[in-house]
Amino acid sequence: MAGKWKSEELEPGKVLETTFFRNPVGDSPYPFRATHLDGRRAPKVVLSDDPRIRPGVPTQVRIVAVHKPERSDRGWIQIEYVAARELQLDGIYLDPMVTRKLQVLLESGLNILLDGPQGSGKTTMVRAIARTLGMDFVFFNCAAVLDATDFMATIQVRASDSGAPVTDFVSTDLRNALLAAVAAPARRFLVFLDELNRCPESARNALMPALDATRRIFDPVTNQFVSIPDNIQFVAAVNRGRQFSGTFGIDAAQLDRFAPLQVDYLPITAEVDLLQKRHPDVPKASVKRVVEIAARLRKSEELGAGLSVRATQEVCVYLQHPLMEKADDGMLAELLKSSFCGRFSGRWDDATSDAGVAWRIIEQALAEQAKKRK
């Protein structure tokens, strides 16, 4: 619906839809601000102080009052929360039930654990959630953690002015986020603990009080425990399976600090649609062929690992380039040999390796696709 609302059209009690963002006026009693109602420009700024509002999430609202309706340069529209629309992520596919569960957990402030195969898009999904909800996204790589204190600070050695070695604590992104959250309680931070099961269990235990009702963590810089403010929410991700080296088990007590969610690779149709939007110059039929072969590899019981969604994305990058224009079956086979087989152990021409098994599956799939086109 195009155009702009008139003040007289917006009577108290009217229910509309809008998307709020953080009010840039820091000292305003209304922390949430919008400019449109039902897709039409509002005649005045739309404000609310309802704590149930989530920035970036389309929300049903009810008009409470239109202040100074006679003035075209002053006043505001005050609203109240009615209901949030189901979470929608642009450019990201999520199973509808997983989406609903995520929305409930995010609004409840619970810690979330995403358990899914390597390369299924967990990091991309969490980044998109933070953007949609107007939260600050903080990425923390748990694989780099060796000791309990590494979550908050790392010890680095540098040369002093005299040349003598000096040991310093370097604050991590997690610690920086905690300090920023304390300084700006109106902001919300989504801390993504990637590869949680790649740090040793003894180090991971340092997070236990941070993830339960205690909500605190030891800070080696100040040599004391610090509280974690309510505007910090944690989402962790793990890759589990025999194909992952250097991983550690997560015990029941640690799992109990999270609400677990299982995620998986995209369905074929969803992955095709997503890649088509990102690479509109690649024929849909070509994208479909690539994704169907990827799906075969992901379902194979012979392979010791899954196939990342980055692999299908990479093939599309090749296919959209002028050098690969009008790629035939032979050229596509070469692209799959590097982008798909290259992600498995061994070589494509070694039938005893995972890469060799993948190449056999690819050759068979290409032959079946060619037969269908005849």
Q: What are phi and psi of 307, to 5 degrees?
A: -120, 120
Q: What pLDDT score was predicted for residue 243? A: 47
191: tokens are 């801390």
> 274, 287 in Cβ contact below 8 A?
no
As a whole number of angstroms, the distance between CA 41 and CA 9 comes to 12
Greatest alpha-carbon pair distance for the chain in Å reads 80
CATH 3.40.50.300 at 96-262, yes or no: yes
> 263, 98 in Cβ contact below 8 A?
yes
With vertex at residue 80, the alpha carbon angle to CA 74 and CA 83, rounded to the nearest 5 degrees, is 135
Strand positions, DSSP E, 172-317: 189-194, 216-219, 224-227, 232-238, 259-262
CATH 1.10.357 at 7-84, yes or no: no
Q: What pLDDT score was predicted for residue 240? A: 59
As a whole number of angstroms, the distance between CA 265 and CA 93 comes to 10
Q: What pLDDT score was predicted for residue 184? A: 87
C-alpha dihedral (90, 83, 259, 232), degrees to nearest 10: 80
Q: What pLDDT score was predicted for residue 68? A: 87
Strand positions, DSSP E, the chain: 15-19, 21-22, 32-37, 40-48, 58-66, 76-84, 112-115, 136-141, 153-159, 165-171, 189-194, 216-219, 224-227, 232-238, 259-262
The mean pLDDT values, 10 residues at a time, for the chain of 374 residues are 80 90 80 88 90 80 89 85 75 81 83 87 87 85 90 82 79 94 86 90 88 91 92 87 51 87 90 92 93 94 84 94 83 94 93 94 94 83
Tokens 């902001």 -> residue: 187
Tell me which residue of 333, 346, 335, 298 sits closest to 313, measured CA to CA.
335
Q: What angle do the packed helices 309-320 and 284-299 form, to 10 degrees?
A: 150
User: Global pTM?
Assistant: 0.74
Q: What pLDDT score was predicted for residue 359? A: 96
Q: What pLDDT score was predicted for residue 234? A: 95
Q: First and final CA of the chain: distance in angstroms?
A: 48
As a whole number of angstroms, the distance between CA 280 and CA 60 comes to 34
> 23, 31 in Cβ contact below 8 A?
yes
* 3-state secondary structure (DSSP) of residue 130: helix
Tokens 């994305």 -> residue: 313
> 196, 236 in Cβ contact below 8 A?
yes
As a whole number of angstroms, the distance between CA 22 and CA 327 comes to 48
